[in-house]
Chain A
Amino acid sequence: MLGEGIIKGMAETARNFVGSYHDPLRLTTVEYPEAKIAAKENARNFPFLVFDGDDAMKGLRCVACQICEKECPPQCIFIVKDTVKKPDYIGKMQVQPKIFNIDISVCMSCQICVEVCPFEAIKMDTSFELSNYDRFGGLLLDKHQLARPNGYYHKIHAIEAEEVDARLAAEKAKAEAKAKADAEAKTKAAAAAAAKPPALAAPVK
């Protein structure tokens, strides 16, 4: 009969109205500045730079290869290479960025920089309280503001960070094994060389 659906709907909304007073679980919203809903694992807004260890500038994974700068669709990344090199996580000497700026007023959160980075150096952040009184300078973040410890990365994207760490550890182990093998080969060659000289010298005579 006409009006049946309206009666049912009115009963439903009345249930919601009464229920929201005695059952706090019904309330789907939180009172924002006091309470916050934790970000989801795959949440993202703007990129940040990961560093290992305690010193942000020493442990920065970025090697200033400028791939992200070239790939960035809205071109919000600006990188200048430093002339001084520093060792990376394996111990190999690498270039480091002198300037690494991201203009988050231009950034469109596409995550392409993260996808293309071969060094796991740039990741997406989830923080959203970024309002600022200076809309030009305040939203242009330099490498000091962008640097976040690996622990922070673990905190916001736990599963992804585990994978990254495992991959880096595997690479490091491989590199170390290779270095060891190289060193062994070298010592073997040296030993062989030490043993051979008389034989080699003979034909010269």
Chain B
Amino acid sequence: MIGDLLQGLAVMIWKVATDQPDPKTDFLAVIPAGIQPVVSAVLSVIPILIVFPSLFALTTLLERKGLGRIQNRLGPNRVGPFGLLQPAADGLKMLTKEDIVPRDADKLLHFLAPVVLLVPTLLAYAVLPFGRNLVPVEIDAGMVFFFAVGASTELSIFMAGWSSRNKYSLLGAMRAISQMISYEIPLIISTVPVIMLTGSLSLVEIVNRQEGFLFGVLPRWHVFTPWGFAGFIIFLIASLAESNRSPFDIPEAESEIIAGHLTEYSGFKYALFFLAEYLGMFAMSGLAVTLFLGGWRAPLPFLGEVPGYMWFLGKLMGLVCVFIWIRGTVPRLRVDQLLNFAWKFLLPLSLINLVTAAVWHFSVGWSFPGALPVRWLICAAMVAAPYAGLGRALTGGGKPTRRTYRFAE
């Protein structure tokens, strides 16, 4: 029995590592039929619970190192070689810190908020295809599930802000709500062209539709089409706002409202918030990879032999590095700038992108000579012209206007 279990486990790990279908069957064959579904689910969950939190630990170090280098500093390098044990030291610090609950706080909600935040964040991973045969739950409406679950994180952020009984917490939570609701709309609309052109809500199907190469070199990823490129950029900006990252870190703007909804949290609860924030960012990046960057598919034909999950993780980490890069570059927006940007720029742009996708879809049958470049040009113009126009409208013609003060001058 034990031997069979171990053998099944070894076969499963081998199959996962080499990208083979149905890795769990050998292991499940040994398990009694009654508990097979539960064991199967646990087997899917455990790798997610191991891989992504460790990726979180790695990313905190990567972020601090990267930001240091961007600012011409060295970054943490004291704990272990090259500071590699820094996440362990941080974790120990968080665990041993005192867990402070304000006297007037709503104790139950205050305790529940980080837990409730972590659950939907982890649930979002259930539908992401990590590799060729690595999908925890293959459901037809994967994207709907992802966004439904992702939207419920706002609830726990407001729980945290409300239950702390602190003005900064409440302000941060209210800012978070206005920001997340504003950016949820362009986020979802920017993914609609993908659904329109693949005709499916299943993330597995969307990855399958991005198979193959144009002219043998250019992968058929959605990002390499005009509507896909625009959608990808809008998605990236909106997901930055959704995961509360700079330059959209208004809900926890430390120079204005201390730490927003995190103000009254300390110790391990704070670490949980932090973890959930990064896990949310990874899930968003994972969805961006799946929708626009070809999921687990290799970027060049001869690289197809490398296991899919390597490509997925590589692309995901690439996006995370871009997020860190942006954080090291762009200062925080004001609240009014943030909302103007969402409603006056991103939302119209993503709506126009729907039309671009429609043009792209219906022009696929064009057969007159030079149809391909014409199709590309039309769609590219449909992306570029509204971008330039809306950009001018948003920034006031590109010229910096002199600010006038009614009372201060």
Binding site for B on A (CB under 8 A): 1-3, 6, 9-10, 12-14, 16-17, 19-21, 26-29, 31
Segment of B67-75, B130-138, B192-200 engaged in the interface with chain A: B67-75
CA distance A9 to B74 in the complex (A): 20
Is B392's beta carbon under 8 Å from chain A?
yes
5 contacts between A and B (CB under 8 A): A2-B387, A2-B390, A2-B398, A13-B328, A17-B328
Known: A2-B392, A31-B74. Is A16-B69 also a contact (CB below 8 A)?
yes
CA distance A2 to B392 in the complex (A): 7
CA distance A3 to B398 in the complex (A): 10
Is B108's beta carbon under 8 Å from chain A?
no
Contact for A17 among B70, B77, B391, CB less than 8 A: B70
Restricting to B379-404, which residues have a CB under 8 Å from any CB of A?
A: 387-388, 390-392, 394-395, 398
Contact for B325 among A13, A20, A27, A29, CB less than 8 A: A13
Contact B72 A16 (CB under 8 A): yes
| Closest CB in chain A relative to B100 CB, distance in Å | 25
Contact B326 A10 (CB under 8 A): yes
Is B66's beta carbon under 8 Å from chain A?
yes
Q: Which residues of B contact A12 (CB under 8 A)?
A: 329
CA distance A92 to B345 in the complex (A): 84
Contact A2 B395 (CB under 8 A): yes
Q: Which residues of A contact B387 (CB under 8 A)?
A: 2
Minimum-distance CB pairs A-B, first 9 = A2-B391, A13-B70, A9-B329, A13-B329, A17-B69, A20-B69, A26-B72, A17-B70, A20-B72
Write out, one digit per residue, whether chain B residues 314-332 have a CB within 8 A of any chain A CB (1) or not (0): 0000000000011011100
| Closest CB in chain B relative to A56 CB, distance in Å | 38
Contact A3 B330 (CB under 8 A): no
Known: A2-B392, A21-B69. Is A14-B330 also a contact (CB below 8 A)?
no
Q: Which residues of A contact B345 (CB under 8 A)?
A: 2
Q: What size tier do the contact residues of chain B reach? A: 20 to 34
Contact B388 A27 (CB under 8 A): no
| Closest CB in chain B relative to A12 CB, distance in Å | 8
Contact B330 A9 (CB under 8 A): yes
Query: Which chain A residue has the least Cβ–Cβ distance from B326?
Result: A10
CA distance A25 to B218 in the complex (A): 41
CA distance A17 to B392 in the complex (A): 31
Contact B391 A10 (CB under 8 A): no
Write out, one digit per residue, whether chain B residues 239-265 have a CB within 8 A of any chain A CB (1) or not (0): 000000000000000000000000000
Contact A10 B74 (CB under 8 A): no
Q: Which residues of B contact A21 (CB under 8 A)?
A: 69
Known: A1-B388, A1-B398. Is A27-B73 also a contact (CB below 8 A)?
yes
CA distance A28 to B69 in the complex (A): 11
Contact A10 B73 (CB under 8 A): no
Contact A17 B66 (CB under 8 A): yes
Contact B71 A16 (CB under 8 A): yes
CA distance A3 to B74 in the complex (A): 29
CA distance A16 to B392 in the complex (A): 30
CA distance A9 to B330 in the complex (A): 8
Q: Which residues of B contact A9 (CB under 8 A)?
A: 329-330
CA distance A13 to B325 in the complex (A): 8
CA distance A51 to B326 in the complex (A): 57
CA distance A12 to B71 in the complex (A): 10
Contact B391 A28 (CB under 8 A): no
Contact A14 B325 (CB under 8 A): yes
Q: Which residues of B contact A20 (CB under 8 A)?
A: 69, 72-73
| Closest CB in chain B relative to A8 CB, distance in Å | 9
Contact B71 A6 (CB under 8 A): no
Contact for A6 among B328, B330, B390, CB less than 8 A: B330
Q: Which residues of A contact B398 (CB under 8 A)?
A: 1-2
CA distance A2 to B66 in the complex (A): 26
CA distance A3 to B390 in the complex (A): 12
Q: Which residues of B contact A29 (CB under 8 A)?
A: 72-74
| Closest CB in chain B relative to A21 CB, distance in Å | 7
| Closest CB in chain A relative to B211 CB, distance in Å | 32
Extra contacts, 8 of them, besides A10-B325, A20-B72 (Cβ < 8 A), are A2-B398, A9-B330, A16-B72, A19-B72, A20-B69, A27-B73, A28-B73, A29-B74
Q: Which residues of B contact A27 (CB under 8 A)?
A: 72-74
Query: Which chain B residue has the least Cβ–Cβ distance from A19?
Result: B72
Q: Which residues of A contact B388 (CB under 8 A)?
A: 1-2
CA distance A14 to B391 in the complex (A): 25
| Closest CB in chain A relative to B318 CB, distance in Å | 14
| Closest CB in chain B relative to A171 CB, distance in Å | 50
Write out, one digit per residue, whether chain B residues 287-317 have a CB within 8 A of any chain A CB (1) or not (0): 0000000000000000000000000000000
Q: Which residues of A contact B328 (CB under 8 A)?
A: 13, 17
| Closest CB in chain B relative to A13 CB, distance in Å | 5
Q: Which residues of A contact B66 (CB under 8 A)?
A: 17
Q: Which residues of B contact A10 (CB under 8 A)?
A: 325-326, 329
Query: Which chain B residue has the least Cβ–Cβ distance from A27?
Result: B72
CA distance A177 to B322 in the complex (A): 77
CA distance A13 to B329 in the complex (A): 6
Q: Which residues of B contact A6 (CB under 8 A)?
A: 329-330
Contact for B70 among A1, A3, A16, A28, CB less than 8 A: A16
Contact for B391 among A1, A13, A16, A31, CB less than 8 A: A1
